[in-house]
A and B are shown apart, each in its own frame.
Chain A
Amino acid sequence: MSAAARKSVLVVTRHAQPARSLARAALDTALATAAFEQPVNLLFLGAGVLQLIPHQDSSAVGVRNLRKVIDSMPLYDVEHCYVDTDAAQRHGLTTADLPSGAILVDVAAQRALFDAHHHILGF
């Protein structure tokens, strides 16, 4: 497929716990889209920012570590991780907490993201 025909995808992730499988599905979808060389960005909106809390250790509960998956995103060509500024602030997340390369976006910038992609997937 030619580069001109590629449709960009915005994966919007708004859930953390207890909807963990949904949050994981959003990450997997972003990764798969990138793996198939289609332009994809990921937006952590509202409660979705809770997935970004650092130093997660899921070994005792026995599921995969969400934060580790997120940190691996740049390796897999997910273009950018965007983070809802207000939600990050509400939940006490500072820039230092966020994955490297994460971009904080306010409402106007979030809306611009929506308008800039061909397809939007709401998780």
Chain B
Amino acid sequence: MGMAVALNYCLLIMAAPASGYTSLTAARFGAAVIAQGHILPRVFFLDGGTSNGLATAITAQDEKSPLTEWTQLATAHGTELVLCVSSAVKRGLLDSAEAQRHGFPAATAHPQFALGGLGLLVEAMQSADRVITFGAPE
């Protein structure tokens, strides 16, 4: 029943990790895309979605952690997780370089997320057969 051809997917995540469970749904969708034989080279997090990259997010034991679900996708399949740098830094998500530049002692973004510009989204969209956006109501 599935497609014979492997499709190239790009995911655009606007939903913050605590906005309902949209982020978890998106991560599950990403895993399902790969399980169905397609490729997911990059997931781009924008606006409130950049909060998914916060290293210090602690999720209750009886709930799934969006951070864990996304980083597992990266670990298992090499999917790049990119936080839009302007959205990210506004929300306090800094990589080592940004932390140092602004005089903070440590990075706040999880190391498996990279901070990058919207050009990385544009690039991913150009290679993609499918661009799927996930957002949640405010």
Residues of A within 8 A of B135 (CB): 22, 122-123
Complex Cα spacing A39 to B7, Å: 22
User: Which of B71-79, B106-114, B126-134 interfaces with chain A?
Assistant: B126-134
Known A28-B86, A32-B119, A123-B135: A21·B125 in contact at CB below 8 Å: no
> Would you call A19 an interface residue if the criterion is a C-beta within 8 Å of the partner chain's C-beta atoms?
yes
Residues of B within 8 A of A33 (CB): 118, 122, 125
With CB as the reference atom, state the residue of chain B lying closest to A7: B126
Residue among B47, B48, B118, B125 making CB contact with A7, cutoff 8 Å: B125
Known A121-B133, A122-B133, A123-B14: A22·B47 in contact at CB below 8 Å: yes
Residues of A within 8 A of B133 (CB): 120-122
The range of chain B's interface size is: 20 to 34
Shortest A92–chain B CB gap in Å is 24
Residues of A within 8 A of B131 (CB): 119-121
Tell me the interface secondary structure of chain A in the complex.
mixed
Shortest B133–chain A CB gap in Å is 5
Is B125's CB under 8 angstroms from A18's CB?
no
Q: How many residues of A contact B (CB 8 A)?
A: 23
Shortest B121–chain A CB gap in Å is 7
> Would you call B117 an interface residue if the criterion is a C-beta within 8 Å of the partner chain's C-beta atoms?
yes
Is B125's CB under 8 angstroms from A119's CB?
yes
Residue among B12, B47, B122 making CB contact with A32, cutoff 8 Å: B122
With CB as the reference atom, state the residue of chain B lying closest to A22: B47
Is B48's CB under 8 angstroms from A21's CB?
yes
Residue among A5, A18, A38, A120 making CB contact with B122, cutoff 8 Å: A38
> Would you call B138 an interface residue if the criterion is a C-beta within 8 Å of the partner chain's C-beta atoms?
yes
Residue among A15, A18, A38, A121 making CB contact with B12, cutoff 8 Å: A121
Residues of A within 8 A of B126 (CB): 1, 5-7, 38
Shortest B9–chain A CB gap in Å is 11
Additional pairs, 20, CB under 8 Å, beyond known A7-B126, A33-B118, A123-B14: A1-B126, A15-B138, A21-B48, A22-B48, A22-B135, A25-B14, A25-B46, A25-B47, A25-B87, A28-B118, A29-B118, A29-B121, A32-B118, A32-B119, A33-B122, A33-B125, A119-B131, A120-B131, A121-B12, A121-B131
11 intermolecular pairs with C-beta atoms under 8 Å apart: A22-B14, A22-B47, A25-B46, A25-B84, A28-B118, A33-B125, A36-B123, A38-B122, A120-B131, A120-B133, A121-B12
